[in-house]
């Protein structure tokens, strides 16, 4: 039954993608055992992966609820070592209590800590958020800056947060968001992070930026994150339901049509 179900998924996916993508799928599917591929970052294979992801997750957006660049900045800081679901439960009351960067800058730190306690590491996160608010107010006129160089001056903001805010809110493709899902799936798909010394988020991002067209950087991150949450989970990935299964040779696959 599992094999029949997977064949139906695979056929449905093939009908939805272009002939070049199907050709790439067929080349991987015929004769390759699980393990490393000969040329996993070929333009043809990368294009097929991008096309399938786009058609599997059309119009996908950032999962963090927000109404402004500042709210997205706060939510992304809170998302460190925490699920987006938990962050989305916390932020409504947080943004009601402190509706602007100026309000966050003047907030009582204990009150701020209490509102974000359930996200974990709440003391450090509260200090980062308040520090970021003060820089936004004092240095940028109350508005989140729109360049990576400037946004990285905010306490608690590293490249991941910068890419999330610049990409999701401002639609500026400066880089690729690399979270735990993107890191894991990039390695499983052999797109990045597969060689010694190449497994840091910064190096994975650089590798992805070399093979992913810039106009796909923003959407690719969202698509891969959703795929990692719904299908390609860390333990026992749902390979039987995966539209990328025939393009994947990961050694920890739970089912294979190869």
Are 88 and 215 in a shared domain?
no
82: number of Cβ within 10 Å? 18
pLDDT of 31 above 70: no
Residue appearing with tokens 């040329």? 39
- Of the listed 84, 125, 160, 207, which one is catalytic? 160
* Among the listed residues 65, 66, 138, 64, the one whose alpha carbon sits nearest the alpha carbon of residue 101: 138
Are 16 and 35 in a shared domain?
yes
Question: What is the pTM for the complete model shown?
Answer: 0.86
241 classed as catalytic: no
- 124, 158, 192 - which closes a domain: 158
User: What's the CA gap between 179 and 167, in Å, rounded?
Assistant: 14
232 is in an annotated binding site: yes
Are 57 and 89 in a shared domain?
no
Question: Considering its fold, how many domains does the chain have in total?
Answer: 2
CA atoms within 13 A on the CB side of 145: 18
Question: What distances in angstroms separate CA 241 from CA 7, 97, 232, one per listed residue?
Answer: 9, 43, 9
CATH number, domain of 211, equals 1.10.1670.10
Write down the pLDDT at residue 216. Answer: 98
User: What's the CA gap between 67 and 76, in Å, rounded?
Assistant: 13
Tokens of 231: 């299908």
> Confidence band (pLDDT; 50, 70, 90) for 196?
confident
Question: What distances in angstroms separate CA 51 from CA 26, 44, 97, one per listed residue?
Answer: 15, 11, 43
In a domain, 184, yes or no: yes
Write down the pLDDT at residue 16. Answer: 55
Write down the pLDDT at residue 17. Answer: 60
Sequence-ordered list of residues with C-beta below 8 angstroms from that of 141, at least 6 positions apart, any chain: none
User: What's the CA gap between 123 and 119, in Å, rounded?
Assistant: 10
Q: What is the pLDDT of residues 159-180, one digit of tens each?
A: 999 999 999 999 999 999 999 9
CA atoms within 13 A on the CB side of 18: 11
Write down the pLDDT at residue 6. Answer: 37
Average pLDDT of the segment spanning 144-165: 98
- Of the listed 3, 32, 33, 179, which one is catalytic? 179
Write down the pLDDT at residue 237. Answer: 96
Write down the pLDDT at residue 193. Answer: 86
Q: What is the pLDDT of residues 92-144, one digit of tens each?
A: 999 999 999 999 999 999 999 999 999 999 999 999 999 999 999 999 999 99
201: number of Cβ within 10 Å? 18
179 classed as catalytic: yes
Write down the pLDDT at residue 197. Answer: 76
Tell me the backbone φ, ψ of residue 154, rounded to 5 degrees. Answer: -80, 130
Task: Please give the radius of gyration of the chain, using alpha carbons only, rounded to the nearest integer.
Answer: 20
Sequence-ordered list of residues with C-beta below 8 angstroms from that of 249, at least 6 positions apart, any chain: 28, 32, 33, 34, 35, 36, 37, 40, 190, 258
Residue appearing with tokens 């106009």? 215
62 is in an annotated binding site: no
pLDDT of 75 above 80: yes
Are 154 and 186 in a shared domain?
no
pLDDT of 33 above 80: no
Are 189 and 243 in a shared domain?
yes
256: number of Cβ within 10 Å? 17
Write down the pLDDT at residue 29. Answer: 47
State what percent of residues in the chain have pLDDT above 70. Answer: 85
In a domain, 166, yes or no: no
Domain that holds residue 108: 69-158
Are 199 and 235 in a shared domain?
yes
- 158, 185, 203 - which closes a domain: 158
82 is in an annotated binding site: no
CATH number, domain of 97, equals 1.10.340.30
């Amino acid at each position: 039954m599992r094999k029949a179900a997977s064949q139906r998924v695979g056929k449905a996916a093939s009908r939805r993608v272009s002939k070049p993508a199907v050709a790439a799928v067929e080349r991987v599917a015929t004769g390759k055992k699980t393990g490393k591929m000969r040329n996993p970052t070929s333009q043809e294979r990368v294009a097929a992966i991008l096309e399938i992801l786009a058609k599997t997750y059309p119009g996908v957006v950032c999962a963090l609820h927000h109404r402004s660049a500042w709210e997205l900045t706060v939510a992304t800081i809170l998302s460190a070592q925490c699920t987006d679901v938990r962050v989305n439960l916390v932020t409504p009351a947080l943004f009601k209590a402190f509706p602007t960067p100026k309000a966050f800058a003047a907030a009582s730190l204990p009150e701020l800590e209490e509102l974000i306690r359930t996200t974990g590491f709440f003391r450090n996160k509260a200090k980062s958020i308040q520090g970021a608010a003060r820089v936004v107010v004092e240095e940028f006129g109350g508005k989140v800056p729109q360049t990576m160089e400037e946004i990285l001056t905010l306490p608690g903001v590293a490249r991941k947060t910068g890419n999330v805010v610049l990409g999701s809110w401002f639609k500026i493709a400066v880089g690729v968001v690399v979270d735990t899902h993107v890191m894991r799936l990039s390695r499983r798909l052999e797109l990045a992070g597969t060689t010694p010394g190449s497994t840091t988020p910064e190096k994975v991002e650089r590798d992805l930026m070399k093979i992913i067209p810039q106009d796909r950087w923003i959407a690719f991150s969202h698509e891969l994150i959703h795929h990692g949450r719904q299908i390609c989970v860390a333990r026992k990935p749902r390979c039987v339901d995966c539209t990328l299964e025939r393009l994947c040779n990961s050694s920890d696959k739970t089912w294979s049509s190869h």
